[in-house]
Amino acid sequence: MNRRQILAAAPALLAAPHVRAQARQKITYGYLLDPAYEAVLWAIRNGRVKSDLVDVEATGLLIPQLLQATATKQYDVIMTAVIGVPAAAARGLELRILSSALHASTVGEGGGIWVKKGSPIKSAADLKGKTLASYGLRATGYMYAREALRREFGLNMALEGGDVRQVEVQAPNLPAALATGQTDAATLIHSQSWRAMQSGEFVNICETGKIVNAAHGTLTSAINVSYPERLAARPDAFREFNRMLKASVDYAMSHRDEVFGAVAKQANIDRKFFDWWFDRTTTVPAVFGEQHAKAVGTAWTIGRVFNMVPTVPDVRALTWDQALRG
């Protein structure tokens, strides 16, 4: 090929699809390790929700790991406790809210206080002087349980010097700690609550979610966040992540038999767990509208009561301006 032929071919080469194609980007996502959220992500993982721009690499983590990963910026997007955002800002760690990850159902189930069958503790009022174990003493969901016990039963739920001895136990070990008497009562994570109901080995003495709903309306316990510098560098990729996550939730809700059946088999849990979880305990909005902003502001106000946040900031100032609104 002579020089003239090469020059003539150049425009065609530049226009070739493989030259034009935009490189795919990866978004890493850390989320709560629980079968319910496996259902949320199932459509992304199994190709029902696709993207020409983004590949999502999702990793399930326990609550303490989520909190640590938020601080170390290990993931592009991280599911973190609502209460953690203003606390992080006070330490100089800037986060921006992308969406609501876990929002309470109007039914108010899933936030129970559990005791072993046959326990002398019959009511949450009996917890005074007893030990209550939690998956995370500074988790937002546990803060709501403390708020319910304070409001409804008049218990001093301060972590130090309160009416109840509160201890943190890694989530997978909570049922065993309760069964063996290492703790008098416990809050359980989602799938554990379902298994507790089915087994009959434990008794739910208080649905704290119903108390909180009545007092404050439905609240958000976890949000998806990222970091201002990453959002500024790749806004298109993060907008696409938001779209994909919402589409994956919508797919799960409209294809329950397919998604819930597959995840139930994978997690070795009754398929009915997912109906209970999505219908009676938790919604996954995957957007951040006015309702969710108000709920987050309420959570921060409760956190101020428990000295978990130094001040109550403006939610809008800590929300990404390109978050998916609805």
Residue-range domain boundaries for the chain: 7-105+219-318, 112-216
Specify the pLDDT at position 15.
44
Looking at residue 307, its pLDDT comes to 93
User: What is the C-alpha separation between 8 and 204, in angstroms, rounded?
Assistant: 77
Amino acid 20: pLDDT: 41
Half-sphere exposure of 238 (CA within 13 A, CB side): 26
- Encoded tokens for 172: 């997978």
How far is Cα 317 from Cα 50, in angstroms, rounded to an integer? 31
- Using left for φ > 0, alpha for ψ between -120 and 50, and beta otherwise, residue 208 falls in alpha
The whole-number pLDDT of residue 12 equals: 43
**Residue-level pLDDT at 10:** 43
User: Can you list the residues of the chain whose pLDDT is less than 70?
Assistant: 1-22
Fold annotation for 112-216? D-Maltodextrin-Binding Protein; domain 2 (3.40.190)
Q: Which of 190, 204, 216 is nearest to 101 (CA)?
A: 190
pLDDT at 210: 97
7-105+219-318 classified as CATH 3.40.190.10: yes
The separation between the first and the last C-alpha atoms of the chain, rounded to the nearest angstrom, is: 56
The answer to whether 53 touches 102, Cβ cutoff 8 Å, is: no
pLDDT of residue 22: 61
What residue spans of 46-107 are helical by DSSP H?
63-72, 84-90
Long-range contacts of 195-202 (CB under 8 A, 24+ apart): 195/269, 196/112, 196/114, 198/270, 200/117, 201/116, 201/117, 202/114, 202/115, 202/116, 202/117, 202/175, 202/178
CA distance 21 to 57: 21
**Rounded to whole angstroms, how far apart are CA atoms 325 and 289?**
5
Q: Tokens in use for 198?
A: 């089915």
How much is the pLDDT for 8?
41
Indicate the pTM of the whole model: 0.88
One fold for 7-105+219-318 and 112-216: yes
